Each structure stands twice: as C-alpha cells, then as structure tokens.
Structure 1
Amino acid sequence: MSRIRNIIIAILVTVIIGAAVVFYFYINMIPDNDPTYAGNTVGNLYNGGYFCELDGHVYFRNNYDNGCLYSMTVDEQDIKPLTTMNVYFVSGAGNYLYYYMDSQHLSNSTSGIGTTVKYYGVYQSRTDGTKQKCLYRGRTAAQQLCGNYIYFQIKEADGGQLAKIKTDKTNLSIVSEEYIDPCGFYDGKIYFTGVTNDHNLYMMDTQNNDKITKIADGYIFYPIYHDGYIYYMDAVDNYHLKRMELSTNRVEELTSNRVDCFNLNDNYIFYSVSEALIPALHVMTLDGSSDVPVLQGVYFHISLTSKYVYFTAFNDDMRIYHMPIDGSEAPSLFNPIE
C-alpha cells in the first residue's frame, strides 16, 4: 500500500509541477494581436505619444514627475506611477505597454543605484508597470505598435533608419535605410512622408513585406488616415491644414492659418496656431467648419482620449492642461500629483 501511495504522490507532484510550468509560460506569453491592430492613435503619437487609452484606462507621461509613466482611469481617477524613468511614444495591447524609456530624467522619488545606471531604448511592460523588459537598446525616436511588431526609428548622426522587432523580442530587422516615421499606422498600412529624396505621401504595407507605394506628390506632413481621407499639414502652403480624399486625390483646405500641430477623433479636429493675430488652441469639425478658439496661447502635444483633450504650453515642460472632449467645461490645469 505504501508503494502505491508513493506512486500516487509522485504522480500528483509531477502533475502539479507540470501545471505550474504551463501556467508560468501562459501568464508570461505575449499574445498575438490582429496584424492590423494599432497600439495608439496616429494623432497621439505625432504629438509625442504622451497619452494612450487602453481598455478603460489611460497611460500617460507625467510631466510633473519628470515624464515618468503613470496610469489612471479615463475619468482621471486611481492615478498610479508605473516607471521611474521618463517615457515617450506610449502604445499598448491587452496586458502590455510599449514605449521609449530612458534615464535622462528620473522620478522625483528615485535614489540609489538607479540614479547611476543608464537605461534607454524600446521597452515593454505589463500595464501595471511590472515585467519591464528592454526589447531594443539604443537611441530611438518615434515608434508604434503595428500588430505584433514595434516599428521604430533608430537615431543616427546623419539621420537614421526604420526598424521593427516582434513583441516577443524576436525578428529584429531593418525595414528601411530611410528615417521613416511609423506613427501613421492604420489598417495594416503606414502612411508617411518621404524623407531622403522628396516629401511626397507614401504608404507602407506591413502585411506585404513592407512594400512601399507612392500615394501623392507634395510636401505632405503628419498624414493621418480617417474615413477615406488623409489629413495633413501642407508645407508648400505655409503648413495650412488640409485633407485629401484618397479615392480621387481631391484636396480641401481646412485652415487659412499656419498650423503647429493637430489631432483628431471621429468628430473634431483640435489644432494649434502661433502665427495668427491671436495665437490659440482651436477646435473644428472634420470638414473645417464650426471653427472656434478654445484657449489663447501657443500649445503643443495635443493628446486625445475618449473623454478629454490634453495639451501643454510652449516653453513649459511641466504643466498639462485638459478639457472635456465635448467642451462641456473650460480648459484647466491637470495635475496628477496633488
């Protein structure tokens, strides 16, 4: 009987250990995303990737804590710090976040050895900030989660390259020797401005070996695809905001002022002008109508969530402003550390 009992115990222990191993690998496995999935909106990333909404939460760069990553609910409750170093170009999918992080600026609460070790590169972590992992160590710039790959710019003295790496830290490759901005990702395609030879509008098909096709001629900056149109700043026409209908290449002018930056959602375009008679943050509908100033001054880093628009003032690296996306309240200071 004792022998049978020992055999049963051994079998149970083996099963338990096996189950534990399977569970460990399961909870640490990076799940596959839809290949057309975008980790953040194009407009948010063009504005530095300061804010990213994911599954009812907002992950954001907290300027009040040297740009470290924080999380909160979409209605700005339950605010928590996630990193002790500053971040840019935040994106996410499922239980994971992706961002550029470096130790140039540290959290106000950081001390000890963490202040001397230098970290920088493309990082991944859980949405609670744990399981931090460097996917690529190097000086990089704009990045976007495109399906199961992070497309990112590698900085070099004479420009740079576009690279990609899978979210499980495999399949690192150089996509282009051109310093292409990958932020304009939509439905499996990256819309971007030419860098080396011209500034035309191009499209990179991430589902077809990253094949590049020219879409239109011009000096087309910060292209955002939305509902059959490309919204962009026209550098030939003093950076007026325009939109191009892709099916016909028909162009509509949306502003008569030089635009510094812009962002959009399904209903509105928020944009900033500094060379107008009265510099201000503006909001208008997608066809350029109903244009009204929101707040006088020069503003940048316009970020949108489902409930709020966030932005910062020129030459002010700390303060963040916010306003309900529907304009139901006037703009005010947003301070997540109070």
Structure 2
Amino acid sequence: MAKIRNIIIIILITVAVGAAVVVYFYLNMIPEVDPTVGGNTTGNLYNGGYFCEMDGKVYFRNNYDNGCMYSMNVDETDIKPVTTMNVYFISGNGNYLYFYMDSQHLSLSTSGIGTTVKYYGVYQCRLDGTKQKCLYRGRTAAQAMCGNYIYFQVKDANGGSLLKIKNDKTNLTTISDEYIDPCGFCDGKIYFTGVTKDHNLYMMDTLNGDKITKIADGYIFYPIYHDGYIYYMDAVDNYHLKRMELSTMKVEKLTNNRVECFNLNDQYIFYSVAESLTPALHVMTLDGSSDVAVHQGIFFNISLTSQYVYYTPAKDNTRMYHMPIDGSQPPSLFNPME
C-alpha cells in the first residue's frame, strides 16, 4: 500500500509541476496579433511617442520625472510609474508595451548600484512595467509597432538603416540601408519620405515582404494616412500643411503658415506655428477650415488621446501643457507629480 501511495504522490506532483510549467509559459507567451494593427497613432509617434492610449489607459513619458513612463486613466486619474528610465516612442498591444528606453536619465526616486549600469535600446514590458526585456540593444531612433514586429531606425556612419524584430525577440532583419522612418504605419503599410536619393512619398507593404512602392513626387515630410488622404508638410512650399487624396492625387493646401509639427484625429488637426508674429498652437478641422490659435507660444511634441491634447514648450521641455480636445477648458500645465 505504501508503494502505491508513493506512486500516486509522485504522479500528482508530476502533474502539478507540469501544469505549473504550462501556466508559466502561457502567461509569458507573446501572443500573435493582427499584422495590420499598430501600437500607437502615426501622429503621436512623429511627435516622439510621448503618449499612447490603449484599452482605457494612457501610457506616457513624464517630463517631470526625467522622461520615465507613467500610466493613468484617460481622464488623468490613477497616475502610476511604469519605468524608472526615460522612454520614447511608446507603443502597445495586448498585455505588452514597446518603447525605446535609456538609462541616461533615471527616475528621481531611483538610487543605488543599479544607477551605474547603462541600459538602452528597444524594450518590452508588461503594462505594469514588470517583465522588462531588451529586444535590441543599441542607440536606436524612431520606432513603431507594426503588427507582430517592431520596426526601428539604427544610426551609423553611413547615415543609418531600418531594422525590424519580432515581439518575441526573434527574426531580427535589416529592411533597408536607408534611414527610413517607420512611424507612418497604418493598416499594414508604412508611408514614408525618401531619404538618400529623394524626398518623394513611398509606401512599404509590411504584409508583402516589405515591398516598397513610390506614391508621389515631391518633398513630402511626416506623411500621415487618414481616411483616404495623406496629410503632410510640404518642404518645397515652406513647410505648409497639405493633404493629398490618394484616389485622385489632388492636393489641398491647409495652412498659410510654416508648420513646425502637427497631429490629428478623426475631427481636428493640431499644429504649431513658430515663424510668425504670433507663434501659437492652432487647431482646425481636417479640411483646413475653422482655424483657431488656442495657445500663444512655440510648442512641440503634440500628442493626442481621446480626451486631451498634450504639448511641450520649445524652451523648456521639462514642462508640459494639456487641454481638452473639445476646447471645453483653456490650456493649463499638466504636472502628474502634483
């Protein structure tokens, strides 16, 4: 009987250990995602990827804590730290966040021997900041989550290149020897500006072997695809904001001012004007009408969530302003440390 009891105990222990192993691998498995889905909006990524909204939460770079990542509800409640190092180009999908992280700037609450270790590169973590993993170690630049891959720029002596790596840290691939900006991802396609030979508008099909096709000639910068149009800054025309209808290639001029940066959602375009007697943050509808200056000054890093627009002053990037998208309140300082 004792022998049978021991065998039963061994079997139960084996089953329990096996189940624990299965649960562990399931919880740590990186699930496959829709290859046409990105991890942030193009406009947010062009503005440094400071803010990323996902499933009712906002993950953001906190300028008041050396650029470390924090999370909060979309109404700016329940603010919590996520990383102890500064981040850029935040994206997310499912239970994971992706970003560039650098230990050059640490959280004000960080101390000890860990502060002497240098970390930098393309990182992944859980939504609460745990399970941090470096997918690619290096001084990278712009990056975007494109389906199951992170596309990112790597600077080198020849200018730079575009690489990609799968979200499970496999399949590291050099896509192009050009320093292509991957932030213009939408529905499986990356819209980008030529770098080496010209500054035309191109499209990279990430679902078809990253095949590249030219869309239009010109000096077309920061292209954002939205509802059949490409919105962009025209370098030939003093960086005025324009939009091109892809079905007809018809171009409309949206501003008479030089634009420093811009972002958009389904209703509005927010853009910054510096070269003017009255530099300001402006907002207008998608066709360029109802243009209004909402905050005087020179601003950058315009980021949008479903409820707020965030932006930083040009001469002090440790501060940040915010304003409801609908204009129901005037601009004010956004300090998540208060």
**Structure 1 residue 277: Cα displacement:** 2.3
**Structure 1 residue 37: Cα displacement:** 0.9
- Runs ≥4 residues deviating over 3 A: none
Q: Equivalent residue for 1:25?
A: 25
Q: Equivalent residue for 1:311?
A: 311
Once the two structures are superposed, residues 50-105 of structure 1 have per-residue CA deviations (whole angstroms, 9 ceiling, x without a partner) of: 00001110000000000001111111111111111110000000110000011111
Equivalent AA in structure 2 for residue 237 of structure 1: D
Note the 1:51-66 alignment, pairs <5 A.
Answer: 51-66=51-66
Q: Equivalent residue for 2:130?
A: 130
Structure 1 distance, partners of 2:88, 2:126, is 16
Structure 1 distance, partners of 2:222, 2:157, is 23
Structure 1 distance, partners of 2:144, 2:39, is 6
Once the two structures are superposed, residues 133-181 of structure 1 have per-residue CA deviations (whole angstroms, 9 ceiling, x without a partner) of: 0000001000000000000000113310000000000000100000000
Equivalent AA in structure 2 for residue 107 of structure 1: S
Q: Equivalent residue for 2:76?
A: 76
Once the two structures are superposed, residues 7-64 of structure 1 have per-residue CA deviations (whole angstroms, 9 ceiling, x without a partner) of: 2222211111110000000000001110001000000000000000011100000000
Structure 1 spans left out of the alignment, 5+ residues? none
Q: Equivalent residue for 1:260?
A: 260
Structure 1 distance, partners of 2:197, 2:22, is 51
Q: Equivalent residue for 2:302?
A: 302
Structure 2 distance, partners of 1:50, 1:283, is 20
Equivalent AA in structure 1 for residue 104 of structure 2: Q
Matched, 1:2 2:7: no
Equivalent AA in structure 2 for residue 169 of structure 1: K
SS in 2 for 1:156: coil
> Structure 1-normalised TM-score?
0.99
SS in 1 for 2:168: coil
Once the two structures are superposed, residues 273-293 of structure 1 have per-residue CA deviations (whole angstroms, 9 ceiling, x without a partner) of: 011221100000000001111
> Structure 2-normalised TM-score?
0.99
Residue identity over aligned pairs, in percent, reads 80
Structure 2 distance, partners of 1:187, 1:138, is 28
Equivalent AA in structure 2 for residue 6 of structure 1: N
Structure 1 distance, partners of 2:227, 2:156, is 35
- How many residues are aligned here? 338
Matched, 1:244 2:259: no
Q: Equivalent residue for 2:336?
A: 336
Note the 1:131-146 alignment, pairs <5 A.
Answer: 131-146=131-146
SS in 2 for 1:21: helix
Q: Equivalent residue for 1:153?
A: 153
SS in 1 for 2:4: helix
Once the two structures are superposed, residues 246-305 of structure 1 have per-residue CA deviations (whole angstroms, 9 ceiling, x without a partner) of: 011100000000000000000000000011221100000000001111100000000000
Q: Equivalent residue for 1:189?
A: 189
Structure 1 distance, partners of 2:208, 2:54, is 27
Note the 1:31-42 alignment, pairs <5 A.
Answer: 31-42=31-42
Equivalent AA in structure 2 for residue 110 of structure 1: T
Structure 2 distance, partners of 1:19, 1:152, is 38
**Structure 1 residue 3: Cα displacement:** 2.6
Equivalent AA in structure 1 for residue 129 of structure 2: G
SS in 2 for 1:263: strand
Structure 2 distance, partners of 1:279, 1:114, is 43
**Structure 1 residue 2: Cα displacement:** 2.6
Structure 1 distance, partners of 2:237, 2:157, is 30
Structure 2 distance, partners of 1:312, 1:157, is 31
Q: Equivalent residue for 1:204?
A: 204
Q: Equivalent residue for 2:95?
A: 95
Structure 2 distance, partners of 1:166, 1:61, is 24
